[in-house]
Structure 1
Amino acid sequence: MTIDRNSTAVVLGAGLMGRLLACALAQRGHRVEVFDAGGPLAENAAARVAAAMLAPLAESAVTELPVVRMGQHALARWPELLATLAQPVFFQQSGTVVLWHRQDAAEAERFSGQLARTTTALPSLPHAQRLNAAELTALEPALDHRFAQGLYLPQEGQLDNRELLAALAHQMLLLGVTVHWNSPRSPAEVDPGPDTWLFDCRGLGAQPQWGALRGVRGEVARVHAPGVSLSRPTRLLHPRYPLYIAPKPGGMFVIGATEIESDDLSPASVRSTLELLSAAYTVHPGFGEARIIEMGVQLRPTLPDNLPGIRLSAPRRMQINGLYRHGFLIAPAMLDAALQAMDNGRSALAEQWGLSLQHTAH
């Protein structure tokens, strides 16, 4: 592609997707302008609350193959993207541990069966490894034989969501991106002209333009537990509220997450808080002495099939939305597909993954 150094792109929404896209466009040589309803801390974005786990095989138990394929692509792309940033971002690719209590053995068998079906369909994914109590403790000494068996999912990863959002905000400044914080805009309020690309990455803010979007409420605890030494993301299976624990630098842990079909953004409920923290305590009693730093609540932008989508709504007008609970897992794949669609009106990657790329007209 020959880059027009005088071309302009406007990005609406500076959550994870908007920031990644703005940086990529600026690196390509475009003059980029960004409008966001919040500030640099991304306080209105679902990405600020997320655990930022990069776990395509683990997520295959609750999603479809297109997301798994995109997650596998993104897991390889994240180190490349992070290497372009001036500020460091915590990134880890030490795999995922999956645990369950004896009474939830049936749920573990269901989960294991789904992982086996996924690796049959996608043989390039590393297979889950079943571990006994001694093997679990050797891998994660903090578990100290408290679980009779578990699974290890090799090569899965995670990053620090807030470090990444801050690094992307800083990178936009270095790249000369013009950012308008606390300045919500709809496409009609911007209308940059037919020769300028307009990208709508506003999540639920785009509901008036993409009526199928809905919000799915998620509640996440952020705790400081320096006495807990879990070294990689850990998932606890349960029929009603499967739990994840994602260790972050400095003894911080993100514990989540509820999933409630609601657009309610009120504070976390006592029930959800008790379920999350009690389950974490059963994984490691050291969480009993943790300090609750935050109970975060956000709405995940979701389409009817729970899969993401890209729409070319008019010439040089693109909407990217519906990342649901998989934002960090699939954002690099969505970025690469969007850039291909920008260049060609289609995306071979999107076709390969089964990602919805629609041409619509208003």
Structure 2
Amino acid sequence: MSDASDIRHSNCHSLRIGIAGAGLLGRLLAWKLLLLGHRVSLFDRGSRAGELSAARVAASMLAPYSEVASAERQVFDWGLMALTWWPAQIALLAQQTGQDIHYGVDGSIVVAHDLDKSSLRHFEQCLQAKIPDRADGVERIDRERLRRLEPELAEHYSSALYLVDEGYLDNSALLVALEMAITQLGGQWFEYSEVLELSPGRIVLSGGEQSFDWVVDSRGLGAKSQLPGLRGVRGEVLWVHAPEVNFKRPVRLMHPRYKLYISPRPGNCYVIGATEIESESMQPVTVRSTLELMSALYSVHSGFAEATLLHAFAHCRPAMPDNLPIVNCESGLLTVNGLYRHGYLLSPQLVEKALAMFTEQTENSVAV
């Protein structure tokens, strides 16, 4: 483990920055701003464990090909950056904190049962239409090739699609490492702090207000009153421990009604999801969703029959009307929001854009 001072940049123009919302974006920006030498305070309505953050309820797949089939081309172009950005940041976090964050960028596998092969063909056609210049990243593979990539899938499927440039990361370990890194760099946590209002240089809490040189608004749905059109999209995931299943890559099952995804974690654990509901309900995962997910899961690999259900999580992800994220920057206020279902895929693009805009504004201010 390295001393935090070894990797912090010196900054003769250190600013006091208040960040409202300590989810994925809030933590990444806090960490990066601390590394630049600024003084950062984080305010969140939950604890630093992030139990109220949408960042916890995610498979955290880095899947630009899979997502662009039903999204704008920008999602693919921005998402490609994540495949190299995350490994570099994970290495830096490990250097600072000594924490291991499991990840993989060895592609993903898409399969379909015989009755649903038309859904797989349609998915492949959508990719060819959306990204004709990157079609070499989509490989149609036979059973023998599948056996070399994921032997246990080859027992049930004679063909599949191999999306070469995709991956995943362990979001739970990442959130823990970011909390440690922020604390080591001197970031101040204000847990269970409900932000009532904010404006450039000012955060209003139930116990009063605090002033800063800059404020970052990364509250997700908490910013609805200040971002017209912001809405919640409910997602549900299951965590299972399946000792009889050994997948090295994310696996997707094409289905006429939903797309099941299985994202691996250390120790034969997997995150399972598929639901995307236009609802802002924060109620627990429904019985219907659980039954559908578990039934589809068993159809992918019979070893899931002996799996243990560890967790069932539901949360609402913030989305703008066009489902694309935003970065707004004015003097004293930086707003980042709207990651929708692409949190871990698009956060690298959003963080780097936000930091660039912030740096340009602050440097111009100093020059004046």
Query: Could you tell me the TM-score, scaled by structure 2's length?
Result: 0.89
Query: How far apart are 1:134 and its partner, in Å?
Result: 2.4
Cα distance in 2, alignment partners of residues 345 and 152 from structure 1 = 43
For 1:9, the equivalent position in structure 2 comes to 17
Instruction: List aligned pairs for 1:48-127, cutoff 5 A.
Output: 48-85=56-93, 86=97, 87-121=99-133, 123=134, 126-127=136-137
Is the alpha carbon distance of 1:6 and 1:135 closer, same or farther for their aligned partners in structure 2, counting shifts above 3 Å? Answer: closer
Cα distance in 2, alignment partners of residues 139 and 81 from structure 1 = 27
Paired amino acid for 2:159: Q
Q: Aligned to 2:325, which of 308, 317, 328?
A: 308
Is the alpha carbon distance of 1:345 and 1:63 closer, same or farther for their aligned partners in structure 2, counting shifts above 3 Å? Answer: farther
Query: How far apart are 1:345 and its partner, in Å?
Result: 5.0
Q: Aligned to 1:171, which of 181, 188, 191?
A: 181
Query: How far apart are 1:61 and its partner, in Å?
Result: 1.1
Query: How far apart are 1:192 and its partner, in Å?
Result: 4.9
Query: How far apart are 1:107 and its partner, in Å?
Result: 1.3
Q: Indicate if the aligned counterparts of 2:239 and 2:270 stay in contact, CA closer than 8 A.
A: yes
For 1:35, the equivalent position in structure 2 comes to 43
Instruction: List aligned pairs for 1:1-362, cutoff 5 A.
Output: 3-85=11-93, 86=97, 87-121=99-133, 123=134, 126-185=136-195, 186-187=197-198, 188-189=203-204, 192-193=210-211, 196-312=213-329, 314-344=330-360
Paired amino acid for 1:182: Y
Is the alpha carbon distance of 1:145 and 1:134 closer, same or farther for their aligned partners in structure 2, counting shifts above 3 Å? Answer: farther
Is the alpha carbon distance of 1:63 and 1:4 closer, same or farther for their aligned partners in structure 2, counting shifts above 3 Å? Answer: farther
Paired amino acid for 1:45: S
Q: Indicate if the aligned counterparts of 2:141 and 2:161 stay in contact, CA closer than 8 A.
A: yes
Which stretches in structure 1 are left out of the alignment for 5+ residues?
347-362
Query: How far apart are 1:90 and its partner, in Å?
Result: 0.6
The number of residue pairs the alignment matches comes to 342
Cα distance in 2, alignment partners of residues 144 and 100 from structure 1 = 12
Q: Deviations over 1:239-263 (max 9, x none)?
A: 2111000110011100002001011
Q: Deviations over 1:164-222 (max 9, x none)?
A: 000000000111101111112231506654x6111000100111111311111111110
Q: Indicate if the aligned counterparts of 1:126 and 1:155 stay in contact, CA closer than 8 A.
A: no
Q: Indicate if the aligned counterparts of 1:192 and 1:198 stay in contact, CA closer than 8 A.
A: no
Q: Indicate if the aligned counterparts of 1:203 and 1:321 stay in contact, CA closer than 8 A.
A: yes
Paired amino acid for 1:73: M
Query: How far apart are 1:306 and its partner, in Å?
Result: 0.8
Pick which of 176-185 and 333-342 moved more.
176-185
Q: Indicate if the aligned counterparts of 2:239 and 2:312 stay in contact, CA closer than 8 A.
A: yes
Cα distance in 2, alignment partners of residues 268 and 83 from structure 1 = 34
For 2:365, the equivalent position in structure 1 comes to none
For 1:360, the equivalent position in structure 2 comes to none
Q: Indicate if the aligned counterparts of 2:73 and 2:131 stay in contact, CA closer than 8 A.
A: no
For 1:350, the equivalent position in structure 2 comes to none
Paired amino acid for 1:206: A
Pick which of 205-214 and 13-22 moved more.
205-214
Cα distance in 1, alignment partners of residues 82 and 250 from structure 2 = 18
Paired amino acid for 1:102: D
Q: Indicate if the aligned counterparts of 1:126 and 1:153 stay in contact, CA closer than 8 A.
A: no
Q: Indicate if the aligned counterparts of 1:218 and 1:297 stay in contact, CA closer than 8 A.
A: yes
Paired amino acid for 2:204: E
Cα distance in 1, alignment partners of residues 270 and 173 from structure 2 = 14
Query: How far apart are 1:267 and its partner, in Å?
Result: 1.4
Q: Indicate if the aligned counterparts of 2:137 and 2:165 stay in contact, CA closer than 8 A.
A: no
Cα distance in 2, alignment partners of residues 213 and 135 from structure 1 = 44
Cα distance in 2, alignment partners of residues 62 and 40 from structure 1 = 34
3-state secondary structure, aligned to 2:147: helix
3-state secondary structure, aligned to 1:163: helix
Paired amino acid for 1:278: S
Q: Indicate if the aligned counterparts of 1:130 and 1:150 stay in contact, CA closer than 8 A.
A: yes
Paired amino acid for 2:251: T
3-state secondary structure, aligned to 1:34: strand
3-state secondary structure, aligned to 1:324: coil
